[in-house]
A and B are shown apart, each in its own frame.
Chain A
Amino acid sequence: MTDVESVTTEIIKGKLLATADEMGIVLVRTSMSPVIYEVLDFACGVTDAQGQLVAQNNGITLFTGTFGLQVQSMLRKFAGTIADGDVYMTNDPYGGGTHTTDVALIKPIFWQGGLIAFGIAVAHWSEVGGKVAGSLSPDSTEIYQEGVQFPGIRLCRNGAVLQDVIDLVAANVRLPKHSLGDLNAELAAVRVCEGRLHEICRRYGTERLTATFGAILEQGERLARQALRLIPNGVYEAEDFIDGDGNRDLQLPIRVRVTVEDEAMAIDLTGCVPQVPGPINCTYSATLSACKTIFKAVTEPTAPSNDGWFRPLRVVIPPGTVFSAVRPAPVGWYYEGSAHVSELVWKALALAAPHRLTAGSYVSLCATYICGRDPVTNELFVHIEPHNGGWGAGPDKDGESGLIATTDGDTYNYPVELIENKFPLRVERYRFHTEGGVGAGRFRGGFGLERVYRILTDDAFSYASIGRSIARPWGVAGGEPGTTNYLEIISGRRRFRGARLPHTTLKKGDQIRIVTGGGGGYGPPRERDPELVGQDVRGGLLTPQQALQTYGVVLKEDRTIDHARTAAQRGGRGRRRPAA
């Protein structure tokens, strides 16, 4: 590569990132589903002609890991017939996707008769039909209950949308206006991609564009290999449980063995529980994507992601497990399963990569569905909501409170004022769940949240899938475990507490209380700086009794630290020096 070419490559790289961002802007701005426009449950990207991801916008970690597989499955399926003006549509979890509600639109992009790239947009539609409104039934036993499947079909030919497909979609979903609105938004996004790539070809030529694709992938690979050098060679293992499969309240054992050798990493998930007749399963593509998330996290989290990064990564898993389900297993709540894949790999590497990883978090998106009929407009409403929770502490920081789980990324919580304007619901409380506490430690976990809804319609129902309800978020290096997630339904004097909630009818005045867990601690609690303990007491996060019992810190009447008695208290229990 000559001088000017390497600079041109950087210029084109910048343009590709700007293109992915622009696709995202267009998608958000035109979407009809709150889960897309408010929670930003979507992602956009550009792949090369072979389906390798070269640029993506900031979206959801789990989607960006699947782009390559989805495009490659279109390449196989439509081999020989891919034409300019085509757009493909897929939501097939067994064809590189995640679950049926994540619908990908893929546009092959041509220049002067040759295929040069693909534009891809994936977004979570509010509705794709199936057993329940919102499509993700917590008690489904087969994928057929999870809505209409688009197994990689042509949506457009010669640039025109095929009306037959639109009619089929409209007939099979409960909110056709929203679903087709989202389809339009995704279509606008992939068309923007084509326009921008054409501008690049016009100015710099396809050869330079293709060379840039190659350079991006090589740069990613090189950086990943360099970063792997910072993790000591070794075999790292972890075990954990998935709490409940959707239909049964049992704990499913899972395990991982991560091998780091120089500039390569292998993740072996052999030995995990077989697939279950509940929607907690994930397909291989979702599992691979969840592994990529942590691989990126332990290498270089901030650099733009592309498929070159993952060349040093190998993922091994036999088919038919909860993380490598085969058709027709249901996978509606796959993101609960895949969150555990990420957490498990994270847990294995936590001590090997302390510069990148913290103690265990609340893990589960704790997604709740509240649906029903609005008594004023008489229209169906579907309120899908992931919940934020507590993250684990690091070797030098407390955990974050009320942050979205690993599976999501640049996703926003719902403003209370917006919900109350939109749905027949009232939010009665939204705050740190201080009563539940967090994992204590030299640095403590972050706080989970408490959110309470009051139902304002007689025609409503809810379902939810909340994980980490039995096994607590793990602590590191003597830090204590955090607390669990749960949900309560309060109807008059009856109170039900659960986690994987099946379809439950609700009436006016009922309350739903969602509580998310606090993160795990890092290091022994008695090594925590007494000033930080005092701060937590003054802020109402900790009682003086807890300060004494857990941290050995004695407070005076005015809530400042009694250093002498604290030293005596801590010394009396055999204080150890903090590890280096």
Chain B
Amino acid sequence: MSLRVATDIGGTFTDLVFFDEDATATGLAKALTRPGDLAQGVLDTITLANLSTDAFRYFIHGCTVVINAITERKGVKTALVTTSGFRDVLEIGRGNRPDLYNMRFEKPRPFVPRHLRFEVEERVDQHGTVLKPLRMEDVEEVVRRCRDAQVQAIAVCYLHAYANPDHELRTAQHLRRQLPRVAVTVSSDVTREWREYERSTTAVLNAYVQPIAEAYLDNLERAVSTRGDLQPHVMQSNGGTTTFALAKRRPIQLIESGPVAGVIGAAAVGRLVGEPNVISLDIGGTTAKCSLVEASTPKVTTEYKLFQTRTFPGYPVKVPVVDIVEIGAGGGSIARFDPSGALQVGPVSAGADPGPASYGRGGTEPTVTDAMLLTNVLNPDYFLGGRLRLDRDQAHGAMAKIARGLGISVEAAAVSVVRLVNANMINALKLVSVQRGHDPRDFVLVASGGGGPMHVAALAQELGVKAAIVPNYPGCFSAWGMLMTEPRIDLIRTQLRRTAEVTLHEVEGVFAEMAREILAQYAADRVAAADVRFVRSLDARYHGQDHTVPVALDGALADVDRIAELFHAAHKKAYTFDLPDTPVEVVNYRLTGYHLARRPDLRKIERRPGDPPLKGRRVVDFGDAGVAEAIVLERDTLPAGFQRSGPAIVEEASSTTVVPPGGWFEVDEWGQLHIRLEREP
């Protein structure tokens, strides 16, 4: 046996999906997540799947250790070293009040208290020129004070270090020599973009979690690398993977380790079926996550802000993160009336415990899952493959509150709850598509998570996408997605120049230097240069603007004017106009290096003549699409090429797919369901 194994830690379950490279067999396992010992939950799935770690050829892991340590503020005692005069940048932040009318607003609290923020005499300007040399006496003082305070990690962030990191590197070198047991992060190693507050927070958060991530990954590596030659990989927020060794240096890149894998999975599904443009939708118990994939490439941004809400500024993390919009809408979302008497669904969730009322575990609030049960979409005897019997009476009792408030029947109230939660999801889907200049008619919607397949048909109809696809293993889709990823390294450099003043030689020079750095990082992982594929892009803007537009550079640049041409087109697409007479400025150079690793071949399913067995019939309320009797099918019994028009319900252990009246679906050769719908009038 030769196995490719992916494990993904979620809030409730830890999932494992594997491929046997010799037999193209696949399998999966689900174990409860162990909040106190996450690695043990991973080992549980390996045991459950009955796998021997000796057979592992490739192991990839999606983890929550970084985000958990930050969320629970359980990182290590961390210090920050700054340019003299700028000790408080971390705490001042951007000073904004998104909660406009709240006169008791509270700013984000810094992760390093003031007495552990130290100033060092040094100064570099925006071109990287040294204005004041680094004063080593000050660094020595930092060593003394960090030692006294028993600091476990130190972040160093100097002004304009993106332009010249020399002072940061020399500071770090000295700190590491004098304090060998302290983890040291320099801002320019984590991000080479401008904006000092954003870079400081990123460096601080990296330092804050580094010792914890290191211990966790070491522990897991020991457990899975039993043969000694396995190089385990971990999923990064940029949608690619990296080795445990590199992840330990920049653990902040794991911040969204798990959720992005679902997006990569959706892109892989799109590639498989010849649809390069995909919107991925992952609906879990508490949230729905949407992301857009264009030309088989997920959107990666460095505008990520941890914990940001409409009323809270959050913490900027300037590392590449797949652009995901997440909203509080899922199976556990609670329906209730707000103080003005309007019905709201979410963002409060009943979670997994006590869970929806129909779980019969003490939940009394009506949730989306309860509504799906009352409309007959869900089969109470086949939830989680029958492992959890849903209680219709409990759901009915909880939903009665909503029905009374609206003065309608319980069943009608359930339909209202579904309509509202769908409306919230539509707004999120539009945010990633229409609001960013994309026409949904060019996209397919790939739905995963336990809830995705239930909602996807209604959402696809309103959004007006080409089709909806329900992939295999929708309930373990992130783990499946990880098996489709490849190692990836992103580098970004801020270097502000007008296109009219820069030569092609200079542009190529910056990219060449970045390429050398990526290859050096890969070389440490024994990856040959010939196996690395590069993708280049620039962030550019009109002189006078601040926000940039990404410009993809496909192939070689014939001349430097081509950059401006590509920018004008990209700006027009994003914002409806261009300004051909305004100078164009290049702000950031972006280079991504993919290691062209082998992706697994997916197993095709049988094509059998005749209809699969009918599992049953039931009357389902499809909301806007009306009430109708639907046929019920078991997903595992559907052969390739099978087609059927709605109304239909396709059941499987981890999810339920809804095909409303007026829609139809087809099973492709890999067993994926394609749902098509009539256009809106």
Binding site for B on A (CB under 8 A): 3-4, 6-7, 9-11, 13-15, 18, 22, 25-26, 28-34, 37-38, 40, 58-61, 177-178, 181, 184, 188, 191, 203, 219-220, 222-223, 226, 293-294, 296-297, 300-303, 305, 346, 356-358, 388, 394, 397, 400-404, 406, 408-413, 415-418, 420-421, 426, 428-432, 449, 452, 535, 538-541
Task: Report A-chain residues with C-beta under 8 Å of the C-beta of B408.
Answer: 3
Is there contact, CB below 8 Å, between A409 and B100?
Answer: yes
Q: With A4-B416, A412-B96 as given contacts, are A357 and B102 in contact (CB-CB < 8 Å)?
A: no
Contact with A along B400-427 (1 / 0, CB 8 A): 0000001110001100100110011001
Q: Does B126 contact A (CB under 8 A)?
A: yes
What is the chain A residue whose CB lies nearest that of B102? A301
**Partner among A6, A30, A401, A418 whose Cβ is within 8 Å of the Cβ of B343:** A6
Q: Does B86 contact A (CB under 8 A)?
A: yes
Q: In the bound complex, what is the Cα–Cα distance between A418 and B435 (angstroms)?
A: 27
25 pairs, A vs B, C-beta closer than 8 Å: A7-B416, A10-B342, A10-B343, A10-B423, A11-B420, A30-B575, A34-B546, A58-B100, A188-B575, A294-B103, A297-B101, A301-B103, A305-B101, A397-B106, A402-B88, A403-B95, A410-B97, A411-B95, A413-B94, A413-B96, A416-B196, A418-B546, A429-B85, A449-B88, A539-B113
Is there contact, CB below 8 Å, between B546 and A37?
Answer: yes
What is the chain A residue whose CB lies nearest that of B581? A177
Contact with A along B52-95 (1 / 0, CB 8 A): 00000000000000000000000000000000011111011111
Task: Report B-chain residues with C-beta under 8 Å of the C-beta of A26.
Answer: 575
Q: In the bound complex, what is the Cα–Cα distance between A415 and B97 (angstroms)?
A: 17
Q: With A10-B342, A413-B95, A541-B114 as given contacts, are A178 and B544 in contact (CB-CB < 8 Å)?
A: yes
Is there contact, CB below 8 Å, between A58 and B194?
Answer: no
Task: Report A-chain residues with C-beta under 8 Å of the C-beta of B198.
Answer: 415
B459 to chain A, nearest CB (A): 13
Q: Does B226 contact A (CB under 8 A)?
A: no
Is there contact, CB below 8 Å, between B115 and A28?
Answer: no
Is there contact, CB below 8 Å, between B100 and A357?
Answer: no
Q: With A11-B420, A38-B546 as given contacts, are A219 and B341 in contact (CB-CB < 8 Å)?
A: yes
Is there contact, CB below 8 Å, between B342 and A6?
Answer: yes
Q: Which of B302-340 contact A (CB under 8 A)?
A: 310-311, 339-340
Total A-B pairs in contact (CB under 8 Å)?
Answer: 209
Is there contact, CB below 8 Å, between A30 and B95?
Answer: no
* Shortest 8 CB-CB contacts between residues of A and residues of B: A539-B114, A409-B100, A301-B101, A388-B95, A429-B85, A3-B408, A219-B340, A402-B92
Task: Report A-chain residues with C-beta under 8 Å of the C-beta of B406.
Answer: 3, 6-7
Q: With A4-B416, A219-B341 as given contacts, are A293 and B101 in contact (CB-CB < 8 Å)?
A: yes
Q: Does B580 contact A (CB under 8 A)?
A: no
Q: In the bound complex, what is the Cα–Cα distance between A339 and B431 (angstroms)?
A: 35
Task: Report B-chain residues with C-beta under 8 Å of the C-beta of A60.
Answer: 100
**How many interface residues does B have (CB within 8 Å)?**
70
Is there contact, CB below 8 Å, between A32 and B544?
Answer: yes
Q: With A3-B408, A18-B431, A415-B195 as given contacts, are A402 and B546 in contact (CB-CB < 8 Å)?
A: no
Q: Does B177 contact A (CB under 8 A)?
A: no
Task: Report B-chain residues with C-beta under 8 Å of the C-beta of A59.
Answer: 100
Given contacts A430-B88, A432-B91, 15 further A-B contacts (CB under 8 A): A6-B342, A7-B406, A11-B420, A11-B423, A25-B435, A188-B575, A223-B340, A305-B101, A400-B107, A402-B88, A408-B97, A417-B196, A418-B194, A432-B92, A538-B115
**Partner among B93, B424, B435 whose Cβ is within 8 Å of the Cβ of A22:** B435
What is the chain A residue whose CB lies nearest that of B114? A539
B382 to chain A, nearest CB (A): 29
Is there contact, CB below 8 Å, between B195 and A417?
Answer: yes
Q: In the bound complex, what is the Cα–Cα distance between A188 and B574 (angstroms)?
A: 11
A263 to chain B, nearest CB (A): 14
**Partner among B92, B113, B311 whose Cβ is within 8 Å of the Cβ of A401:** B92
Q: In the bound complex, what is the Cα–Cα distance between A296 and B101 (angstroms)?
A: 6
Q: Does B430 contact A (CB under 8 A)?
A: yes
Contact with A along B114-137 (1 / 0, CB 8 A): 110000000001100000000000
Q: Does B667 contact A (CB under 8 A)?
A: no
What is the chain A residue whose CB lies nearest that of B162? A417
Q: Dominant SS at the B interface?
A: loop
Q: In the bound complex, what is the Cα–Cα distance between A475 and B427 (angstroms)?
A: 44
Task: Report B-chain residues with C-beta under 8 Å of the C-beta of A31.
Answer: 545
Q: Does B637 contact A (CB under 8 A)?
A: no
Q: In the bound complex, what is the Cα–Cα distance between A531 and B546 (angstroms)?
A: 44
Task: Report B-chain residues with C-beta under 8 Å of the C-beta of A178.
Answer: 544
Q: Does B582 contact A (CB under 8 A)?
A: yes
What is the chain B residue whose CB lies nearest that of A28? B547
Binding site for A on B (CB under 8 A): 85-89, 91-107, 113-115, 125-126, 159-160, 162, 194-198, 310-311, 339-344, 406-408, 412-413, 416, 419-420, 423-424, 427, 430-431, 435, 496, 542, 544-547, 574-577, 579, 582, 680
Q: In the bound complex, what is the Cα–Cα distance between A32 and B543 (angstroms)?
A: 8
Is there contact, CB below 8 Å, between B545 and A32?
Answer: yes
**Partner among B89, B104, B311, B343 whose Cβ is within 8 Å of the Cβ of A7:** B343
Is there contact, CB below 8 Å, between B546 and A428?
Answer: no
What is the chain B residue whose CB lies nearest that of A12? B423
Is there contact, CB below 8 Å, between A449 and B115?
Answer: no
Q: In the bound complex, what is the Cα–Cα distance between A400 and B195 (angstroms)?
A: 22
Q: In the bound complex, what is the Cα–Cα distance between A565 and B105 (angstroms)?
A: 36
A476 to chain B, nearest CB (A): 13
Is there contact, CB below 8 Å, between B160 and A420?
Answer: yes
| Residue from A6, A60, A432 with most neighbouring chain B CB atoms (10 Å) | A6
Q: With A403-B95, A429-B85 as given contacts, are A356 and B159 in contact (CB-CB < 8 Å)?
A: no
Q: With A297-B103, A403-B105 as given contacts, are A420 and B126 in contact (CB-CB < 8 Å)?
A: yes
Q: In the bound complex, what is the Cα–Cα distance between A61 and B101 (angstroms)?
A: 7
Task: Report A-chain residues with C-beta under 8 Å of the C-beta of B103.
Answer: 294, 297, 301, 346, 356-358, 406
What is the chain B residue whose CB lies nearest that of A180? B579
Q: With A14-B424, A416-B86 as given contacts, are A394 and B104 in contact (CB-CB < 8 Å)?
A: yes
Q: In the bound complex, what is the Cα–Cα distance between A184 and B107 (angstroms)?
A: 34
| Residue from B125, B423, B574, B680 with most neighbouring chain A CB atoms (10 Å) | B423
Task: Report B-chain residues with C-beta under 8 Å of the C-beta of A417.
Answer: 126, 159-160, 162, 194-196
What is the chain B residue whose CB lies nearest that of A33? B544
B408 to chain A, nearest CB (A): 4
**Partner among A18, A301, A408, A420 whose Cβ is within 8 Å of the Cβ of B125:** A420
Is there contact, CB below 8 Å, between A402 and B101?
Answer: no
Is there contact, CB below 8 Å, between B115 and A302?
Answer: no
Q: In the bound complex, what is the Cα–Cα distance between A220 and B406 (angstroms)?
A: 19
Is there contact, CB below 8 Å, between B159 and A416?
Answer: yes
Q: In the bound complex, what is the Cα–Cα distance between A113 and B341 (angstroms)?
A: 34
Task: Report B-chain residues with C-beta under 8 Å of the C-beta of A539.
Answer: 113-115
B159 to chain A, nearest CB (A): 6
A408 to chain B, nearest CB (A): 8
**Partner among A40, A357, A418, A430 whose Cβ is within 8 Å of the Cβ of B85:** A430
Is there contact, CB below 8 Å, between B416 and A431?
Answer: no
Is there contact, CB below 8 Å, between B102 and A412?
Answer: no
Task: Report A-chain residues with C-beta under 8 Å of the C-beta of B419.
Answer: 7, 11
Q: In the bound complex, what is the Cα–Cα distance between A432 and B92 (angstroms)?
A: 8
**Partner among A30, A58, A293, A402 whose Cβ is within 8 Å of the Cβ of B98:** A58
Q: With A29-B574, A301-B101 as given contacts, are A3 and B407 in contact (CB-CB < 8 Å)?
A: yes
Is there contact, CB below 8 Å, between B96 and A410?
Answer: yes
Is there contact, CB below 8 Å, between B423 and A14?
Answer: yes
Task: Report A-chain residues with C-beta under 8 Å of the C-beta of B575.
Answer: 26, 29-30, 188
B302 to chain A, nearest CB (A): 14
Q: In the bound complex, what is the Cα–Cα distance between A411 and B100 (angstroms)?
A: 10
Task: Report A-chain residues with C-beta under 8 Å of the C-beta of B435.
Answer: 18, 22, 25
**Partner among B85, B97, B310, B427 whose Cβ is within 8 Å of the Cβ of A409:** B97
Task: Report B-chain residues with C-beta under 8 Å of the C-beta of A294.
Answer: 103
Task: Report A-chain residues with C-beta under 8 Å of the C-beta of B95.
Answer: 388, 402-404, 411-413
Q: In the bound complex, what is the Cα–Cα distance between A10 and B406 (angstroms)?
A: 13
Task: Report A-chain residues with C-beta under 8 Å of the C-beta of B577.
Answer: 30, 184, 188
Is there contact, CB below 8 Å, between A222 and B340?
Answer: yes
Task: Report B-chain residues with C-beta under 8 Å of the C-beta of A403.
Answer: 95, 97, 105, 107
